[in-house]
Structure 1
Amino acid sequence: MLQEPELDCGPGLPCEKRYFPDSLDSSDADDEGALACEDLEINPFDGLPYSSRYYKLLKEREGLAVWKDKYPFMESLLQSQVVIVAGDAKCGKSSQVPQWCAEYCLSTHYQHGGVVCTQAHKQTAIQLALRVADEMDVIIGHEVGYAIPFENCCTNETILRYCTDEVLQREMMSIPFLGCYGVIILDDVHERSISTDVLLGLLKDVLLARPELKLVIITSPPLVSKLRSYYGSVPLLEVRNPHPVEVVHLRVAPDDPLMAVLQLVFEIHHTGEKGDIVAFLACEQEIEKVYEIVCQEGTNLNPGLGELIVVPLYPKEKCLVFKPNEDPEKRSQVYQRKVVLTTSAGESLVQSSSVRFVIDLGLERRKVYRPRIRASSLVLQPISQNQADIRKQILGTSSSGKLFRLYSEEFLCRDMKPLKAAELQEANLTSLVLFLKRIDIAGLGHCDFLSRPAPESLMQALEDLDYLAALDNDGNLSEFGIIMSEFPLDPKLSKSILASCEFDCVDELLTIAAMVTAPDCFLPLPHTGAQEAAWQRRTELLHPEGDHLTLINVYKAYQEASESCVEKWCSDHFLSHAALRMAESIRDELLDIMRRIELPYSEPAFGSEENTRNIKKALVAGYFMQIARDVDGSGNYLMLTHKQVAQLHPISCYYTMKHFPEWVVFHSFNISENNYIQIISEISPELFMELAPQYFFSNLPPSESKDILQQVINHLAPIPTTKKEQKNKEKLCEECPEASAEARCVIQ
């Protein structure tokens, strides 16, 4: 029996209801469990008295749309193992539900563990942890903390932990059944990230093994039916934001969507109506274009209307979440209207109640992986109806919000799919398969996915792991594969780090790994008269042996810069201080992993000819599937594994030096308007043949490049005594790659 007794909070004080299972309440009650609540002036989470700010924030919390559902939620959590919360954006579910779960764990004296809440974006994990720590009146990093890739702000005493879904996924490698948690909350499930889908599948088995564990799934309403058919008929709470929003559709799509966005921004500003603007664009390049134009034209606007402040938000980068300016001195100055520019998946980054206008382009540029050519392509396509609805809900806290959709209602119904496509069906799955192979060791290898990945992508991932010597002859993880899975990196990069142990260039490879994992550190150079001076500073950091070594140059120069003026040094060289600071954190964590698993570490020897060659050996050992050749001497690079042609990226040191090496190893390649290969270094065909597995070479498609490599291998390898022996050798390589198993057990 569940009951909610009356509460006397005292005159003038707000009430916060706390719910506990009856079995843990000192009062008499039946065995079914009951809900008890009491007014606590002492914070039960840290044992200190509540501050006045706590009661002020509590009043604000009580105004959230989700607050009225606290009692039904706690009742469902007590009685069921899985609870689904479906709510509109900005209703408070991501901040309040975890706090209620923390109260539940407090009531059980944490005998089953604390609370972890996953987020699809690291920015929101940080911001939610900061906000919730403030609302719970505790210290961030103690009772409430966050963990994102390469950054951990938690202790062993942390009760409520926000983290990205990929952090919790990796945690399952060492703690498969997540025994340190009593409640697991999967938030932003409708984002359909790979890690969230993996967690949904693996937790089905964990729940069976741990009946005391609670799982809370927070999503948008359209995904509910799919989730309930996946997990069964579990309790559902739906939260709606009641505020109406004025929606304006265009009858015909504009010829130039970006100009339409710019025109609308300036028209809104000229009306004089107060409120910030959020514009959803298709890609980051569009953000940069609109940002530049608004900054230029903003200086010519009527100063009486206020100042336009452009705020670019990149969902994939470590940027701040957009929040209102709370500085009273700033508010007293001239009126400032923020224009927030973001892309798809940026909805959760906008947490400001000052937004009154939303401009929705209705398009997004998604990265879709093509397993046959081992490359991604950028595809411009409509967003989903669910995404369009979430963008509308950003204005849910405003009673006078306006949404401008730069597409027709017919386009919304005809061309937009109901739900966003799962990332699992569009991404490179090599890292995922490596993880599943690793988790299989703990008995959790079976994963019943909400949406099944494409078989072709899975097969290509298995093939790549086999080439990287991560699998044994039975298809299980090899010793190298287990070590590779310890690194939170792309398997090719992990393999290069392993190879660096053999080639005595660990220090340099850790720097390269950190720099390519962090956001791009190179900022756009100015288009003004200072461009020549900017280029001069940039070229001081270039290395003639390639972009990988240039990255080492940049990092070393950053490390040597005086701490008091490092930001100025970055600004002078048009480098991102935030990106370099993150690279520093990533490198430290990679070094910690090396020490933990007792891999050998070699002292730095950067600058010597031998060290340069060893770095390239280590790179080729991991990236032999990403080799290209200049087929005509003018910078047209043909991929070794397929027929795609690419160009050098303009930021490459070779592009700057007007030097086009014949053979290169590259870090990434996207099929887009320019087909650039990025972060490249010159290699020799002899180096490739020395380090690439023979059975990988034999599977390459016929080409002029393969013929050249065959001549190299004929020159390097001993000549068989008879033609019959030569034919037998080729037949063995082509038909029975397993016979070359020994080659795969060598760090290459």
Structure 2
Amino acid sequence: MSEGTSPEEPQEVNPEGEEHPDEDSLGFGQDLELNQFDGLPFSSRYYKLLKQRKGLSVWKVRGEFEEALVHNQLVLVSGTAKTGRSTQVPQWCAEFCLSAQYQHGMVVCTQTHRQQAVDLALRVADEMDVNIGHEVGYTIPLETCCSSDTVLRYCTDDMLLREMMSDPFLEHYGVIVIDQAHERTVSTDLLLGLLKDVLLQRPKLRVVVLAAPPFTDKLLGHFGDVPLIRLEASCPVEVVHSNSGSKDHFYSALRLVLEIHRTKEDGDMIVFLASAEEVDCARSILQREGTRLGAELGPMVPVVLNPPQRGLLPILIEEPDARMSRRVFLSAPQGEDMWWPAESVNFIIDTGVQKKMVYNPRIRANSETLQPISRCQADVRRQLSAPTGKCFCLYPEEPRLPAETSSQILESNITPTVLFLKRMEIAGLGQCDFIDRPDPEGLMQALEELDYLAALDDDGNLSEIGIIISEFPLDPQMAKALLASCEFDCVSEMLTIAAMLSAPSCFLEPSAGLTHEAVHCHRKFQHPEGDHFTLISIYNTFKQNQREQGMCVEKWCKDYFLDHGALKRADAIRSELTDILNRIELPISQPSFGTKTNAHNIKRALLAGFFMQIARDVDGSGNYFILTHKHMAQVHPLSGYGAQSQKLGLPEWVIFHEYTLSDNNYMRTVSEISPQVFIQMAPLYFFYNLPSSESKDILQDILDPDGSRNCKDGKQRPLTSNSDCTTESQTYDRCVIQ
């Protein structure tokens, strides 16, 4: 940059100008144009991709966007899929920061899905003609591909939030691009709320929000008088509506897939189903039906895409003999903005419904509900096919769809969110200006839960324990249990439990006819103490086979119907948690899994965090009464207790990891506990806040065998079996953090 150039005004960069040489016109010895980011000559591929980029609708507003970025701190960009907003806008922001010689920082662009962040970084590095991991990089949970040369970084929205804990004003960045804001994840909504305050503290910072209409109109109301740049949608496709009821949406979609395939019309399909479970079921059915179709129709290949876990990148690289087959992409909700091979997709099948988990703060549990998608989601899906394609909507032409996708912050357990905001208050950020404020009942429940976990002090601020808990990328209850394990010498085992429960399930769903074999294999790992201990057994056996067999461990996983990818992810999570413990200098005990003392200590550590998730079998037949909200529940059939119940019987008292309101109200990941240990670990004031019940009376009798029930002092005192309220020393090992 020349001395007279203002750092606020980007220099005129002209990589797209007509005077650029075509790759075929470059002769030997002719001067080549240099890449402004790495100083090297552009490759021929750069000009080929540049020609494609110019055809994107976002390119028409480049001048308008750059002008708005120079003169405004915040810019809104409204557009649907296939407009090029996620690839081009961050590049222009990188040029803006380069023009100021990065005096105010680099560029970061958030994504809601980890695979989307990786795919976009790879694509943009290709377009910018630079190496991935150098000028362009990405950061996703458990994986970083960046360097000191990185000027444009893609990351998940939750990773940028974690970064704010150490850099609350994000001073490393000159431009922050919030992509896919219309998906309304908790992390994205938090970023939008906190960045309003950050912008006040940093006048040179720029924030760009990319979203689909009509959510951008709501953003205008939230942020006030800011420029809004609207992108033209791609050519409208033919839309066909039906009156299929929501109850029949699944089989209606599959019948339509087979009907389209029988027409022999060219093109792949995308089918939007209500849930990941429906996606897996649809794959099995289409694989089975595909074998029954005549050879003259050609092969039909169902391809599962579940945005939170998997991306499209691996499946776009097809074998040569598979190019003639028709691919049927099966997607769960929130997959509208994934990387789709749009040129090959001629058919969109949209069921118009989605299954969502909605959190109920009164009972501290999720309930599964079937809801219509938003008009915003429906509009984005219609743009995913080729210009000559068709979109089949399995709902009436004038459906009662909500305009916007509902915010996850209104439907989730916000205890982790409140913990994070308390941490931000310490860092100096003001109140978060929510686009949609959380429900007061959910907020009170979150504060109460943090209080039970000793994460708050008497003034409602984060305690020392709360600060340590916030360091872990875990649910506060699990973080508290991990912290307690440092006192009970079972850190190694609790690290494994935390990692296995944070990763996707390690149990593979068997194909038809192999269910009995899979159950038999899984039963070999079952531990008599409960499911938490079974997870440790599986992980330890996996690591042992990994050391002994190396690459063959993948076959071992397949033979035992275990998900190799899930176990690898759990291993990576465990390493990350270990690094955090080392960084904050907490002790890590040597593993001693298999001893009675170790099992007792693991249960005490679990109860330090999950004392709110206790249930009792009231009739000996598996009808469990949950003490906190008096609901009845069953142990999930895949639990080890489900397999052992006929032989050994079910335990009377259990601790569970998850409870979902569904047809059978299942508890998942269940282990046996004793009421005496529960009494030792639960805070006294939590016990007295439990609703009255026969189970509470049983606990009270253990606590107070002489009938003296007046010991209600001491907010942080544990329940003890000592009936008199003296300060005599306790006769059991006590977790000092309680």
Global fold match (TM > 0.5) = yes
Q: Is 1:340 matched up with 2:350?
A: no
Q: 1:119 deviation in Å?
A: 0.8
CA RMSD of aligned residues (A): 2.4
Matched letter for residue 553 of structure 1:
S
Q: Is 1:194 matched up with 2:186?
A: yes
Cα shift readout 1:602-652 (whole Å, capped 9, x = no counterpart)? 111111111111111100110000111111111111111012211111211
Q: 1:331 deviation in Å?
A: 5.3
Q: Is 1:357 matched up with 2:344?
A: no
Q: Is 1:662 matched up with 2:652?
A: yes
Alignment partner, residue 142 of structure 2: 150
Question: Given the alignment, which residue of 373, 388, 403 partners 2:391?
Answer: 403
Distance (Å, rounded) in 2 between the aligned partners of 1:322 and 1:520: 22
Q: 1:40 deviation in Å?
A: 7.2
Matches within 5 A, 1:209-288: 209-253=201-245, 256-288=248-280
Q: Classify the secondary structure of the residue corresponding to 1:625.
A: coil
Report the CA distance shift for 1:400/1:361 in structure 2 as closer, same or farther (over 3 A).
same
Distance (Å, rounded) in 1 between the aligned partners of 2:445 and 2:401: 30
Distance (Å, rounded) in 1 between the aligned partners of 2:405 and 2:21: 49
Alignment partner, residue 672 of structure 1: 662
Distance (Å, rounded) in 2 between the aligned partners of 1:490 and 1:197: 19
Q: Is 1:321 matched up with 2:331?
A: no
Higher deviation after alignment, 107-116 or 342-351: 342-351
Alignment partner, residue 371 of structure 2: 381
Question: Given the alignment, which residue of 455, 461, 483 partners 1:498?
Answer: 483
Q: 1:706 deviation in Å?
A: 0.3
Alignment partner, residue 12 of structure 1: 22
Report the CA distance shift for 1:110/1:526 in structure 2 as closer, same or farther (over 3 A).
same
Question: Given the alignment, which residue of 476, 482, 505 partners 2:461?
Answer: 476
Q: TM-score scaled by structure 2?
A: 0.91
Q: 1:263 deviation in Å?
A: 0.9
Alignment partner, residue 93 of structure 1: 85
Question: Given the alignment, which residue of 404, 426, 444 partners 2:429?
Answer: 444
Stretches of structure 1 lacking an aligned partner (at least 5 in a row): 16-38
Q: 1:11 deviation in Å?
A: 4.6
Q: 1:405 deviation in Å?
A: 0.8
Alignment partner, residue 31 of structure 1: none
Q: 1:487 deviation in Å?
A: 0.3
Q: Is 1:169 matched up with 2:161?
A: yes
Cα shift readout 1:41-89 (whole Å, capped 9, x = no counterpart)? 2222223222222222212211211112222111111111111110121
Report the CA distance shift for 1:118/1:10 in structure 2 as closer, same or farther (over 3 A).
closer
Report the CA distance shift for 1:594/1:294 in structure 2 as closer, same or farther (over 3 A).
same
Q: Percent identity?
A: 54
**How many residues get paired?**
704
Distance (Å, rounded) in 2 between the aligned partners of 1:235 and 1:108: 22
Q: 1:321 deviation in Å?
A: 2.2
Distance (Å, rounded) in 2 between the aligned partners of 1:598 and 1:538: 37
Report the CA distance shift for 1:673/1:222 in structure 2 as closer, same or farther (over 3 A).
same
Alignment partner, residue 697 of structure 2: 707
* 1:493–1:513 contact (8 Å) kept in structure 2: yes
Q: Classify the secondary structure of the residue corresponding to 1:503.
A: coil
Q: Classify the secondary structure of the residue corresponding to 2:519.
A: helix
Q: 1:273 deviation in Å?
A: 0.6
Q: TM-score scaled by structure 1?
A: 0.90
Distance (Å, rounded) in 1 between the aligned partners of 2:24 and 2:493: 58
Matched letter for residue 388 of structure 2:
S
Higher deviation after alignment, 104-113 or 263-272: 104-113
* 1:526–1:534 contact (8 Å) kept in structure 2: no
* 1:323–1:352 contact (8 Å) kept in structure 2: no
Cα shift readout 1:300-328 (whole Å, capped 9, x = no counterpart)? 10222211111112233x21226774557
* 2:75–2:209 contact (8 Å) kept in structure 1: yes
Distance (Å, rounded) in 2 between the aligned partners of 1:732 and 1:713: 15
Report the CA distance shift for 1:130/1:5 in structure 2 as closer, same or farther (over 3 A).
closer
Distance (Å, rounded) in 2 between the aligned partners of 1:482 and 1:12: 57
* 1:437–1:445 contact (8 Å) kept in structure 2: no
Q: Classify the secondary structure of the residue corresponding to 1:711.
A: helix
Q: 1:566 deviation in Å?
A: 1.2
* 1:198–1:447 contact (8 Å) kept in structure 2: yes
Matched letter for residue 319 of structure 1:
R
Alignment partner, residue 111 of structure 1: 103
Alignment partner, residue 19 of structure 1: none
Distance (Å, rounded) in 2 between the aligned partners of 1:523 and 1:2: 53
Q: 1:8 deviation in Å?
A: 6.0
Matches within 5 A, 1:625-636: 625-636=612-623
Cα shift readout 1:217-258 (whole Å, capped 9, x = no counterpart)? 000120122211221211111112231211111135376222
Distance (Å, rounded) in 2 between the aligned partners of 1:437 and 1:399: 49
Distance (Å, rounded) in 2 between the aligned partners of 1:286 and 1:5: 49
Question: Given the alignment, which residue of 538, 542, 550 partners 1:558?
Answer: 542
Q: Classify the secondary structure of the residue corresponding to 2:300.
A: strand
Distance (Å, rounded) in 2 between the aligned partners of 1:587 and 1:14: 52
Stretches of structure 2 lacking an aligned partner (at least 5 in a row): 1-8, 26-30, 720-724
Distance (Å, rounded) in 2 between the aligned partners of 1:2 and 1:630: 68
Distance (Å, rounded) in 2 between the aligned partners of 1:324 and 1:523: 20
Q: Classify the secondary structure of the residue corresponding to 2:165.
A: helix
Report the CA distance shift for 1:77/1:13 in structure 2 as closer, same or farther (over 3 A).
farther
